[in-house]
Structure 1
Amino acid sequence: MRTFWDRTRYAVSFELIGLGIIMTAAWLFTDMPVSSFGITAIIMSLLATFWNALLSYGFDRYLTKQQGHTNKTAMQRVCYALGFEAGLIIITVPIIALVLEVTWLQAFLIDLGIITFFLFYAYGFSWAYDRIFPLPAAANNAA
């Protein structure tokens, strides 16, 4: 099992590298001001982190009440992921529309692009992180 500090390093590096990639892409491929997009990306990152913590807490409480533990089935993981993304869209689309001064449809499409990027980025980042910072052998054997 990873330590608190290892999880903190993971979360902070995940967000910082992801923000760097998103902001670079916005700078290269859009005519939006980098400062506006940067502010939006930082707000979205903070909201995603907060929403993830809140949803995780609520989901674990629900599972504990319903089944007496927090071990998740594949379907429960899918439900959690869909709930996370749906909640994040509801939270972030109005912010994107306001800060970037775009329509709600444009904000929704921007959000879908960001979500799609992070879907693949999360997989690649997690894979690379596990290679760079592997679990100790004892933890690998216990998992």
Structure 2
Amino acid sequence: MGVLERVFHSVLFEVLAVSLSIAGLAIFTDHDVTRLSGTMIVIATMAMCWNYIFNLIFDYFVKGERVERTVMVRVVHVLLFEAGLLIATVPVMAYMLGVNLWQAFLMDIGVTIFVTVYAFLFNLTYDHIRLWVINHRQAAA
């Protein structure tokens, strides 16, 4: 995956994740949607940067075609990514929403559980669509 595609992948992932996370937090908390939106945009920006860096590192250590990754490799990928992100985002969420670290941790865990499942499904789908596009372009050439 080249730089441009990695950026596209990250932005697409985050736009969908932010929209769904704001909706979920608005349903399950009493925070203002505007405040939630600002918080989630900051966290998404942090996540995009981490996504790019983490996937470069992960791809360096886990060789081969992405579409051939086992379920276990995908589970480890998502868990490591989310653990690293959680460490950085809890203090930010606490500050921006004016809650204590425990409340921010609980909200962030809710978002993390959602995003973990979402990331697994998003990346699995993305990889298969990507392979289909590559094969389709090669067949057309």
TM-score calculated relative to the size of structure 1: 0.70
Gaps of 5+ in 1: 64-69
Instruction: Give yes or no for contact 2:78–2:120 (8 Å, CA) kept in 1.
Output: no
SS at match of 1:134: helix
Deviates more, 1:43-52 or 1:122-131: 122-131
User: What's the offset of the Cα at 1:35?
Assistant: 1.4
User: What's the offset of the Cα at 1:86?
Assistant: 2.2
Instruction: Give yes or no for contact 2:78–2:119 (8 Å, CA) kept in 1.
Output: no
Q: Identity of aligned pairs, percent?
A: 32
Q: Which residue of 2 aligns with 1:25?
A: 24
Give per-residue Cα distances to partners, 1:99-119, cap 9 Å, x unaligned.
111111111111111111111
Q: 1:19 to 1:123 in 2, by over 3 A?
A: same
Q: Which residue of 2 aligns with 1:137?
A: 135
Question: Does 2:109 align with 1:115?
Answer: no
Q: Which residue of 1 aligns with 2:99?
A: 102
SS at match of 2:94: helix
Q: Which residue of 1 aligns with 2:36?
A: 37
Aligned-partner Cα distance in 1 for 2:31–2:39:
11
CA RMSD of aligned residues (A): 3.3
Question: Does 2:63 align with 1:71?
Answer: yes
TM-score calculated relative to the size of structure 2: 0.71
Q: Which residue of 2 aligns with 1:46?
A: 45
Aligned-partner Cα distance in 1 for 2:48–2:115:
13
Q: 1:9 to 1:102 in 2, by over 3 A?
A: same
Q: 1:3 to 1:83 in 2, by over 3 A?
A: closer
